[in-house]
Amino acid sequence: MNKEVIKSINPANDEEIKSYPVMNDQEISKIISLSNDDYLNWKETDFSERSIRMKRAGQILRKNKEALGKLMTIEMGKPILQSESEIEKCAWVCDYFAENAEKFLEDEIIVTDASKSFVTYKPLGVVLAVMPWNFPFWQVFRFAAPNLMAGNAGVLKHSSNVTGCALAIEDIFREAGFPENIFRTLVIPSQRIKGVIQNKNIKAVTITGSVAAGKSVAALAGEVLKKTVLELGGSDPYLVLEDANLEQAAGTCVTSRLINGGQSCIAAKRFIIVEEVYKEFEGIFIQKMKNKKMGDPLDTANDLGPQARTDLRNELHEQVQRSINQGAKLLLGGFIPDMKGAYYPPTILAEIKPGMPAYDEELFGPVAALIKVKNEEEGIRIANDSEFGLGAAVFTSDLKRGEKIAKEKINSGSCFVNDFVKSDPRLPFGGIKESGYGRELSSFGIKEFMNIKTVYLK
């Protein structure tokens, strides 16, 4: 009888890269048990010992940047320079938490009527990470670096199409000198997640993915009372006001829309422009999108590679077509190219209205939705008229105005002024509404999977 396998397909040419045997229930159970065993020892190590290993992981990443970047590009299609940049960012997050975890998790003295009372942070155990394919290394390292530094262990269920990346990450931590099973990869399909969550040695779950996947994981974890952190979809609004530097705003908006092939939860998706500058912005935006070159992601001359999978490309095109059928105006792109691979060109839709996929849904690819509004007030209303609440941006030459809108008016987990939304190890990252809950990164993220424990002496 043939063993079930997971296949990795190169989206640039539809060719199989490699197949991986799927783990059975006994193998899964053994891995989780071994991870828990290593956790029981790892949680007793001091921060200096953890830091040495985490710094070494960063060094390994930098040393192998080209090879790891190529693996990422071949498995999910992002342009090679973006892949290599992602590896550098992973090394940064390793260094950041190696240097700051101890400070973030120091005991906090609280003055009460006790002789002494304080809050201390203790690791929970083995944390399951369910991760997506769009940033195959970064999504994992932004979970793993703080959690391993905090004393937890990690078990990864990665997207099937980036299994090579998942196993490479496991190898990196092992090569860096971490305990052999403190970070492990499970090679399993999504249908097997329930049994993993129910395993007694899994203490919490984090997922980055679609809203549907997040709700499913949260429900399964809720049945066994295990904490979750969810970073889900987004339909980030970028509000362009009448006093914005339009050349700079349009360039930033195009970058955010096309980075990673447009396949990012925090990519700009809805561009809301006040009518006073709409026509001028539209012209600049179209030209900048036209100038982007699509092709082989291993060729550094190209700005845009294929989408990660053909089925995802086809779903995106179907959303574009439905929007056009409902009255959206196609300004650029909007077709499936006559070429091998999961390619989709830079696409612009205008005259977007509620009820259209381009207005209501997340378009996970290089498709921009332009929305004209009368003024700032209407722009803010439309920006907030979404089930999502991950990131947002505002473009204005008046920084006080921008700060007020970002701080008080836009409903999202983050809002940037005159720049595109990006994750940063120093800042908390996450969303509200159907974009999820909980935070990753920074001092906030490292505490998500800790027992925040009160100690009281009298």
CA terminus-to-terminus distance, the chain: 66
d(CA 306, CA 74): 10
Take residue 359 and report the two structure tokens written for it: 């207005």
**Contact indicator for 313, 321 with CB cutoff of 8 Å:** no
- Amino acid 415 reads C
Is-catalytic flag, 108?
no
- Amino acid 336 reads I
Of the candidates 134, 204, 194, the residue with the CA atom closest to the CA atom of residue 165: 134
Of the candidates 118, 412, 74, 375, the residue with the CA atom closest to the CA atom of residue 236: 412
Burial string for 60-98 (b: 16+ CB within 10 Å, else e) reads: bbbebbeebbebbbbbbbbbbebbbbbbebbbbbbbbbb
Q: How far is CA 339 from CA 298, 311, 321, 343, 407, in A?
A: 16, 15, 20, 8, 45
Coil, helix or strand for 454? strand
Among the listed residues 90, 94, 265, 415, the single catalytic one is 265
**244: Cβ–Cβ under 8 A, 6 or more apart, which residues?**
277, 395, 396, 397, 418
Q: CA angle at residue 6 from 66 to 11, to 5 degrees?
A: 50
Q: Is 322 left (phi over 0), alpha (psi -120 to 50) or beta?
A: alpha
Among the listed residues 84, 86, 170, 231, the single catalytic one is 231
Take residue 363 and report the two structure tokens written for it: 């378009």
d(CA 153, CA 41): 10
Encode 296-331 in three state secondary structure.
CCCCCCCCECCCCCHHHHHHHHHHHHHHHHCCCEEE
Is-catalytic flag, 231?
yes
Of the candidates 275, 257, 289, the residue with the CA atom closest to the CA atom of residue 371: 275
Q: Give me the active site residues, please.
A: 231, 265
